[in-house]
């Protein structure tokens, strides 16, 4: 039996977009992303379970963490960038986002729950953020 060659998936740079009135506006060039899916569970022990603990999944929580480099905002074709992410977070509302570069395109509704930036001398300015996803990730734009 021939050995099957393994193909490793490589991470690569993607772009984070936010939905405006008519289309998805590019915000930042991402250097890395991570997606967390966590099961929210409850446990129960009673006579019906003969004293055994039964764990039940009640819901799934999803979040997206990302790192990016702060760039001249004209590099993405206009007035976009880190300042836009700050403004979106300050609205305290969820928005529709799109990420390119992770399994093609992924669309999702989310709230930005954290942003932090680093401006180190002699280095590129960078920032990190986390978004709490409301619902599931979608392969197609739900507004189409």
How does residue 69 score in pLDDT terms, banded at 50, 70 and 90? Answer: confident
- For the entire predicted model, the pTM comes to 0.77
Give me the DSSP letters along the chain: -PPPPP-PPPP--EEEEEE-SSSEEEEEEEEEEEEEEEEEEEEE--GGGTT--EEEEEEEEEEEEEEEE---GGGGTSS-SHHHHHHHHHTTS-EEEEEESSSSEEEEEEEEEEEEEE--TTS--EEEEEEEEEEEEESS-TT-
How high is the pLDDT of residue 103? 67
How high is the pLDDT of residue 8? 52
The gap between the terminal CA atoms of the chain, to the nearest Å, is 47
What are the structural domains of the chain? Answer: 14-138 (2.30.110)
How high is the pLDDT of residue 123? 84
Whether 9 shows a pLDDT value over 90: the answer reads no
- Reported as a single tens digit per residue, the pLDDT across 18-57 is 998 888 988 887 888 888 999 999 998 888 878 889 999 9
The more confident residue out of 97 and 12 is: 97
- Reported as a single tens digit per residue, the pLDDT across 79-126 is 457 888 999 999 999 999 998 876 678 999 999 999 998 888 888 888
Q: How far is CA 128 from the centre of its chain?
A: 11
Closest to 18 (Cα-Cα) out of 82, 72, 104, 113: 82
């Amino acid at each position: 039996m021939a050995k099957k060659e393994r193909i490793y998936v490589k991470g690569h740079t993607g772009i984070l977009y936010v939905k405006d009135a008519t289309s998805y506006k590019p915000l930042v060039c991402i250097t890395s992303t991570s997606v967390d899916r966590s099961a929210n569970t409850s446990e129960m022990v009673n006579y019906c379970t003969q004293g055994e603990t039964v764990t039940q999944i009640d819901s799934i929580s999803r979040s997206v963490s990302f790192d990016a480099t702060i760039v001249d905002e004209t590099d993405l074709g206009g007035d976009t960038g880190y300042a836009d992410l700050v403004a979106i977070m300050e609205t305290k509302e969820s928005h529709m986002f799109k990420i390119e570069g992770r399994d093609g395109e992924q669309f999702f509704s989310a709230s930005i729950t954290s942003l932090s930036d680093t401006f180190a001398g002699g280095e590129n300015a960078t920032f990190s953020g986390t978004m709490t996803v409301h619902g599931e990730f979608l392969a197609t734009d739900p507004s189409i």
